[in-house]
Amino acid sequence: MTRALRHLLAGAGVPAGDGAFLDWSRIILLQNLAGVPVERHLVDTYMGSLGFNVLVLGSDGRPSHFCKCRSVSNARLRHELAVLTALGADRRTRQAVPRTWGVQSDELRLLVSEYIRGTPFDRSVVNLSASRWVDSMTEILGVESRVAEAAGHVLPDAVDGRVSMHDAAGPSLEYLDANGLLEPDALNALEEALRLGGRVEAQPQHGDLWPQNVVGWRGSWWLLDFEAFGDVVVPLYDAWHLVRKCSDLRRHWAGKHGTAPELWIDRLIGDSEEASASWHTVAVAAREHGLTSNQIVGGLAYYVSHIATEFHKRGGPRWYWEPHIQEARRLAYALPDLAARCPA
Amino acid sequence: MSVTEPSTFDDGRSNWLWLAELSRWERALEVCSDTSPQTAGLAEHFRFVHCVRVDDGRLRREWQDLVASGYANVLPACAAATRLPYRDGVFDCVALDDVGTQAASRYRVLPECRRILRPGGCLFMGTRSRGLRRLTRALTRAGFPVVRAFGAEPSWDAPRCMIPLKRAAILGYERWVRRSSPMRDVIRLMLARLGARRLLYRSVILLAYP
């Protein structure tokens, strides 16, 4: 490996084993999505915020560290490093986020985390019964809530009073409208749901709380990947994201034996055991934040419009962003059914 | 975030350079029979990048795009890979892209690459894993005694993952990665334990050193 990467890893305290530096065969390049340094024509694009990751193997051959490698100018990695360093130093979250530190050279910035060896939730969630699934999601959201609370103390800029759901979703709705992605009546329906949601207490959200970023280890849930932490402060965003991604995975793994509808919103308004489990999980999270049923639906409208916008902005092929637009459209037309399904 | 990123987002082709052992980053050569998305990446790392193509018209368009993107350090040349128009030992790095798909031409190119590579330089090759042993022997014969092989997933021209082809690394990777069915995971772990590299990874990236 290059002298720069080798020295950075040594400087980060990654044990080299027998030699002075890590052997080439102990470095696995993962999630290699964009060149570092960023190519000039990609600087201001989504691609420009990406890079590659590295899995470092210990001398016993087992993964010991996970490193994110990005250009020195990468603001998202700097943000994640600040968040994880602060949370890792707080005793309330020491058992929920991996110990993380950073090193950098002229060209490369590394975020180095201790490798969490447990079982990622995306592996276990597909085999859980509905009740065990609810328990697990509730526990995970409890951990996420603890992390958000701790962030309020260690990162004072992360939280700022109350937030209007309608105002927070404004840029997303404008984007969907300007790009002709949603029809005016669908946009009006979402807007109305957001208006009914009113104002809520801001709470920093993880922003990408999907099962692959949750690991069960030593009897605790560990959260990974804090790049988007605090970008969203509307409560229940993480809850809806976790419920939705779990539901997608469970449907996918059921394969041809499954009969669940393709769109998540259709599954959510159904009367299946899975739908009840989803609503129950969100209701528990909502109770913790003292949210009303209108605010639960408002949070859902915020979530689907935000995620549809973010995926479309990335500029990938149609199959990449279209399902999110379809979910947003489906939600807009299903809002009357949802109000009946939503726990009081 | 949360779904598999589409293949159009694959732009990390030049990140293998972080795994290469190079002490000087002055001059690189990229030899490719078609347009390569690697040139800009190389141009970010090296002071000068020479790119050799067979098709003059395509080369001209590609070069104009690169210059328009701000890469004035890219120098094009139209030539056959088996007769490269450069002096001996001038390059710190040679990247052989899809020239490697035809076995016969691949073997003829290797001595030429060795000739233009300076001592301490590095040759990159992306190819299929079939015939890896034979290719490694050909590299040794051509003057590359040190060859480091990486499994490339899903392929060498879109290497989302690069796994050193050593048993511990393969096992470490196979334990980390999650596939579409648990049965596939089990089978692949068995193959990893047996050291069946060719069955696990269809594509390889080779870094060879003179």
> How high is the pLDDT of residue B180?
64
The answer on A187 and A211 residing in a single domain is yes
Nearest CA in chain A to B172: A62
Domains of chain B: which residue ranges?
A: 14-153+201-209
Distance CA B156, CA B160 (A): 9
Contact partners, residue A223, CB within 8 Å, separation at least 6: A96, A97, A140, A143, A144, A147, A206, A209, A213, A214
Residue A342, min C-alpha distance to chain B (Å)? 25
Do A275 and A321 belong to one domain? yes
Same domain membership, residue A278 and residue A189? yes
**Cβ pair B143, B137 in contact under 8 A:** no
- What's the domain count of chain A? 2
- Give the whole-angstrom CA distance, residue A195 versus residue A177: 17
The pLDDT value recorded for residue A101 is 95
Are residues A203 and A334 both part of a single domain? yes
Interface test with A, best of B1, B22, B64, B167 (most A CBs within 10 A): B1
Tell me the residues of chain A between 77 and 96 that have a Cβ less than 8 Å away from chain B: none
Pick from A202, A207, A176: nearest CA to A190: A176
Is some CB atom of chain B closer than 8 A to the CB atom of A118?
A: no
Question: Nearest residue of B to residue A214 by CA position?
Answer: B2
Residue B10, pLDDT score? 64
Q: How far is B21 from chain A (nearest CA, A)?
A: 5
Closest C-alpha to B97, from B62, B132, B134, B127: B127
A61 touching B (Cβ < 8 Å): yes
A123/B15 CB distance under 8 A: no
Out of A115, A147, A164, a domain closes at: A115
CB of A99 closer than 8 Å to CB of A115: no
> Strands B158-164, B146-155: parallel, antiparallel or unpaired by DSSP?
antiparallel
Positions of chain B with pLDDT lower than 70, given as ranges: 1-10, 34-36, 98-104, 179-180
Question: Is there a single domain that holds both residue A261 and residue A164?
Answer: yes
Give ipTM to 2 decimals: 0.91
pLDDT at residue A156, as a whole number? 65
Tell me, yes or no, whether A286 and A147 share the same domain. yes
Q: What is the pLDDT of residue A209?
A: 97
The residue in chain A having the minimum alpha-carbon distance to the alpha carbon of residue B23 is A3
Find, among A18, A28, A99, A97, the residue nearest to A59 by Cα.
A18
SS (H, E, C) chain B: CCCCCCHHHCECHHHHHHHCCCCCCCEEEEECCCCCCCHHHHHHHCCEEEEEECCHHHHHHHHHHHHHCCCCCEEEEECCCCCCCCCCCCEEEEEECHHHHCHHHHHHHHHHHHHHEEEEEEEEEEEECCCHHHHHHHHHHCCCCEEEEEEEEEECCEEEEEEECCHHHHHHHHHHCCCCCHHHHHHHHHHHHHCCHHHHCCEEEEEEEC
Option in A26, A31, A42 nearest B11 (CB): A42
Nearby residues of A172 by Cβ (< 8 Å), 6 or more positions away: A302, A305, A306, A308, A309
Task: Show which of A90, A115, A140 is a domain's final residue.
Answer: A115
B120, B126, B128, B130: CA torsion to nearest 10: -10
Contacts of B150 in chain A (CB under 8 A): 29
Q: Which of residues 257-296 of A touch B (CB under 8 A)?
A: none
Residue type, A137: M
Nearest CA in chain A to B38: A35
CA distance A145 to A238: 10
Phi, then psi, of A303 in degrees rounded to 5: -60, -50
Q: In chain A, whose CA is at the least distance from the CA of B19? A: A1
SS (H, E, C) chain A: CCHHHHHHHHHCCCCCCCCCCCCHHHEEEECCCECCCCCHHHCCCCHHHCCEEEEEECCCCCEEEEEEEEECCCHHHHHHHHHHHHHHCCCCCCCCCCCEEEEECCCEEEEEEECCCCEEHHHHHHHCCHHHHHHHHHHHHHHHHHHHHHHHHHCHHHCCCEEEHHHHHHHHHHHHHHCCCCCHHHHHHHHHHHHHHCEEECCCCCCCCCHHHEEEECCEEEECCCCCCCCCCCCCHHHHHHHHHHHHHHHHHHHHHCCCCCCHHHHHHCCCHHHHHHHHHHHHHHHHHCCCHHHHHHHHHHHHHHHHHHHHHCCCCHHHHHHHHHHHHHHHHHHHHHHHHCCC
Structurally, at CATH architecture level, domain B14-153+201-209 sits in 3-Layer(aba) Sandwich (3.40)
Q: How far apart are CA A47 and CA A103, in angstroms?
A: 22
- pTM score: 0.91
Q: Select the residue of B3, B69, B161 nearest A32 (Cβ to Cβ).
A: B161
CATH of the domain at A289: 3.90.1200.10
Q: Residue A265 is encoded by which pair of tokens? A: 């919103």
* pLDDT for the residue numbered B118: 95
Please indicate, yes or no, whether residues A205 and A252 belong to a single structural domain of this protein.
yes
Interface mutation target, options B9, B42, B66, B93, chain A, most CBs of A under 10 Å: B9
Contact B172 A61 (CB under 8 A): yes
Tell me the residue type at B29: L
Q: Does A40 contact B at CB distance below 8 Å?
A: yes
Whether A125 and A56 share a structural domain: no
Q: Do A283 and A138 share a domain, yes or no?
A: yes
Q: Give the pLDDT confidence score for residue B2 in this predicted structure.
A: 45
d(CA A53, CA A112): 10
Task: Give per-residue pLDDT as tens, B169-192.
Answer: 999 898 888 766 778 888 888 898
CA distance A70 to A153: 28
A33/chain B closest Cα distance in angstroms: 5
Residue given tokens 């490093």 in the structure block: A81
| C-alpha B48: how far from chain center | 18
In this structure, the answer to whether residues A24 and A152 fall within a common structural domain is: no
Q: Decide if A154 contacts A90 (C-beta within 8 A).
A: yes
**Domain match, A46 and A33 both:** yes
Residue A56 has a pLDDT of 94
Q: For chain A, 344 residues long, give each residue's pLDDT as a single digit of tens.
A: 677 888 899 888 888 766 667 889 999 999 999 999 988 888 888 888 889 999 999 888 889 999 999 999 899 999 999 999 989 888 888 889 999 999 999 889 999 999 998 889 998 898 899 999 999 999 999 999 999 988 877 776 666 689 999 999 999 999 999 999 999 999 999 999 999 999 999 999 999 999 999 999 988 999 999 999 999 999 999 999 999 999 999 988 777 566 778 899 999 998 889 999 999 999 999 999 999 999 999 999 999 999 999 999 998 889 999 999 999 999 999 998 887 777 76
Domain encompassing residue A62? 3-115
What's the CATH number where A18 sits?
A: 3.30.200.20
> CA geometry: angle at A212 spanning A208 and A213, to 5°?
50
Distance from the Cα of A179 to chain B's closest Cα (Å) equals: 21
Distance from CA of A191 to the nearest CA of B (A): 25
Of A115, A144, A176, the position where a domain reaches its end is A115
Q: Do B20 and A1 touch (CB under 8 A)?
A: yes
